[in-house]
Amino acid sequence: MSRLQIEFRRLFVATEAASTDAAIDMSDLVDSQGRVRALVLELARPADWQQLADVWKGVQTELDLPAPAIAVNGTDGMQLWFSVEAPLDVARAHAFLDGLRLRYLAAVKPDRVSLMAGADSAWAASIGLSSSASAPLETNGCWPAFVAPDLAPIFSETPWLDLPPGEEGQTRLLASVKSIKPELFDAALARLRAWAAAEAPAAVAIGADPRDGGSSAACHPDAKRFLLSVMNDEAAPLALRVEAAKALLPHGKLH
């Protein structure tokens, strides 16, 4: 097993087979219970690093999380790869990624942002697997790869490498990435949900149609989806679930 495979397994593989010498397969990103360790947020068309950098910096300064890995997808986007120490169910993984999007990329058109976890991350995983599993993914001479933070800005207009990524360099980049511990993830998710709940009334007001009396049915669909995930998540604090429910009801009041 190469050093790159070892690092990729350490960070992103969720199956019990992670400790074997078997080649990495995309199915290894999801364990037998459907849980994942690789959470990928992508910004594309164009791959504006300045906007994605707000997420990369924000998770460190506001959420006290380790820096995620940065990648170019080889075509039209850049990605942040988050590793969690303990496998998560896909719903919580998506809630985290959606919380990041609402917090840091709310002004970006939704069709430019992709949130990938579980089966959704299979395509994204090919970036890491292209080197770690010796299964190159190359399109017209453009290669996906993990990239260093100080070099990320130069890939905004050309999110790819012109040559295959070197295994030593890719290994060094992944070796510097730390997995998010469960208690840190829980705290970050709670904070993201609190921010979303605090912004919900404003979202409803902005999205409301005066003709329907400001009903939350007119709420921006992205904020509404996130609030629904908070309200239905039994692991979320009760106070946050109640606030989410209030924001989803007409006029933000329980009757």
| Per-residue pLDDT tens digits for 168-226 | 999 999 999 999 999 999 999 999 999 988 876 544 333 333 333 343 333 455 567 77
Note the pTM of the prediction, 2 decimals.
Answer: 0.77
Buried b (16+ CB within 10 A) or exposed e, 105-139: beeeeeebbbbbbbebbeebbbbbbbbbbeeebee
Instruction: Please report the domains of the chain, with CATH numbers, ordered by start residue.
Output: 3-175 (3.30.70), 182-252 (no CATH)
**136-165 tens-digit pLDDT:** 455 567 899 999 999 999 999 999 999 989
Amino acid symbol at 152:
A
Question: H or E element: which one contains 127?
Answer: helix 122-132
